[in-house]
Amino acid sequence: MTVKTTSPPHEVASGIYHVPLPMPMRPSIVNVWLIDGGNEWALADTGMRTEESLAALRNALATLDLSPIAIGKIICTHHHPDHFGASAPLRDLCRAEVFLHGLDAERLRIFLPHPRSTEAEAFFKLNGIPPQSFANVPTPGEFWRDMYAPATPDHLINDGDELQIGDRDLQVVWTPGHTPGHCCFYCPRTKALIAGDHLLPRISPHVGVYPSGPLNPLADYLASLEKVAQLDVELVLPSHGGAFRDHRHRAAQLIHHHEYRMLAALDAIRAKPRTSYAIAKEIFHFTEKAPVQVQLPATFETPAHLELLARQGRVTKIEEGDLLRFRAV
């Protein structure tokens, strides 16, 4: 087996090591973090369950002259496959305990194989997505079948929890939005924030409405951005892209990005009511011939903006049979 070349692990803050793991899609790298607590190590996020990713992690441990069983805790920011997908095999390899927020532990089934539900099909139709756009699209569980092996968490974490990694404390900062149970991990000693997908340096994390809920994730995400802006952070360690400073500036940029998206959605429905899919096509600039990996995320993000606008009294919802349209107030 040929392992995709990634950078060797290196120390980015005192006792925190960056380990880039390969992914078979864009973005092509997910960052995970090894945390040295003196007499115990922890791994923050796991990468996917692929041979390349697992081999890259084993190589990183060997480079640090670290036995897998030195890792006593596997702490995960959220349940998505690139963050939790290898949690079961790594728990077995390291004999470690796995930590995840309870709201994300409830959602592990989403990425496990199961038939598409009638609720999902109704949700697609409600938002105006043409049936031909999803008729032959695999379910998330079918797509991730070979790359997702989630462990049942040993511990459910909550906002404000303190995790003891040897002689080091990590504070759990619950940051819902990208997922309901997304968490960041703050190290007071180094003022470093392991940010998962909450704060990314170059792209905006996906925040969408799905059949499984929640209904208003964008409000959660914006509140979470304001929450982390209150922390005394000197270095942000994101899951994709390089480490960066000035977390408050990046949080403000992301808030402004979503304000712009909401204004664009409003402009798209001033003349007449439209479905989420029709609005998404306009503001994300795609057609029905675009790849589904472009169409569906954009269409799931659009109702997140519209739902927040509706709760602000700036948009009304018009339900006609199995179709939902939005109109600017």
pLDDT tens per residue, range 59-82: 999 999 999 999 999 999 999 999
Average pLDDT of the segment spanning 280-299: 91
Instruction: Look at residue 251 and tell me if it is in a domain.
Output: no
pLDDT tens per residue across span 100-133? 999 999 999 999 988 888 888 899 999 998 877 7
Residues 227 and 328 in one domain: no
Q: What share of the chain is helix, strand, coil (3-state, %, to 5)?
A: 35, 25, 40
pLDDT tens per residue across span 28-49? 999 999 999 999 999 999 999 9
- Structural contact between residues 326 and 315, judged by C-beta atoms closer than 8 angstroms: yes
- The CATH number assigned to the domain holding 287 equals 1.10.10
Which of 219, 245, 271 corresponds to the end of one domain? 245
* pLDDT tier for residue 138 given thresholds of 50, 70 and 90: confident
Instruction: Look at residue 33 and tell me if it is in a domain.
Output: yes
pLDDT tens per residue across span 290-309? 888 889 899 999 999 999 99
Instruction: Look at residue 1 and tell me if it is in a domain.
Output: yes
Residues 278 and 303 in one domain: yes
* pLDDT tier for residue 2 given thresholds of 50, 70 and 90: very low
Residues 101 and 117 in one domain: no
Query: Which residue(s) pair with 163 in the sheet?
Result: 170
Residues 208 and 93 in one domain: yes
Give the structural domain span for 271.
113-137+259-329
Residues 232 and 155 in one domain: yes
Residues 37 and 106 in one domain: yes
- The CATH number assigned to the domain holding 216 equals 3.60.15.10
* pLDDT tier for residue 1 given thresholds of 50, 70 and 90: very low
Which of 193, 219, 245 corresponds to the end of one domain? 245
Instruction: Look at residue 253 and tell me if it is in a domain.
Output: no
Please report the pLDDT score of residue 26 as a whole number. 87
Alpha carbon distance 102, 182 (integer Å):
10
* pLDDT tier for residue 5 given thresholds of 50, 70 and 90: low
Residues 121 and 108 in one domain: no
Residue 188, CA distances (Å) to 170, 192, 231, 235 in order: 7, 7, 10, 11
Please report the pLDDT score of residue 126 as a whole number. 94
Alpha carbon distance 81, 99 (integer Å):
15
Residues 128 and 29 in one domain: no
Alpha carbon distance 210, 276 (integer Å):
12
Which residues are within 8 A (CB) of 17 and not within 5 positions of it... i.e. 6 or more apart?
A: 9, 10, 11, 33, 34, 35, 36, 60, 64
Alpha carbon distance 257, 236 (integer Å):
19
Residues 98 and 118 in one domain: no
Structure tokens at 109: 């089934």
* pLDDT tier for residue 3 given thresholds of 50, 70 and 90: very low
Which residues are within 8 A (CB) of 231 and not within 5 positions of it... i.e. 6 or more apart?
A: 173, 186, 193, 247
How does 96-107 read in b/e, with b if 16+ C-beta sit within 10 Å? Answer: bbbbbbebbbeb
Share above pLDDT 90 across residues of the chain, in percent, rounded to a whole number: 84
Which of 197, 212, 245 corresponds to the end of one domain? 245
Instruction: Look at residue 234 and tell me if it is in a domain.
Output: yes
* pLDDT tier for residue 15 given thresholds of 50, 70 and 90: very high
Please report the pLDDT score of residue 288 as a whole number. 87
Residues 267 and 326 in one domain: yes
Average pLDDT of the segment spanning 259-269: 97
Question: Taking 60 as the threshold, does the pLDDT of residue 8 lie above it?
Answer: yes
Residues 72 and 127 in one domain: no
Instruction: Look at residue 142 and tell me if it is in a domain.
Output: no
Residues 184 and 326 in one domain: no
Compute the Cα dihedral for 79, 84, 89, 92 and give only its sign.
Answer: negative
How does 130-165 read in b/e, with b if 16+ C-beta sit within 10 Å? Answer: eeebbeebebbbeebeebbbbbebeeebeeebebeb
Instruction: Look at residue 275 and tell me if it is in a domain.
Output: yes
- Count helices and strands in the chain by DSSP H and E runs: 11, 14
Alpha carbon distance 262, 150 (integer Å):
35
**Structural domains counted in the chain:** 2
Question: Taking 70 as the threshold, does the pLDDT of residue 4 lie above it?
Answer: no
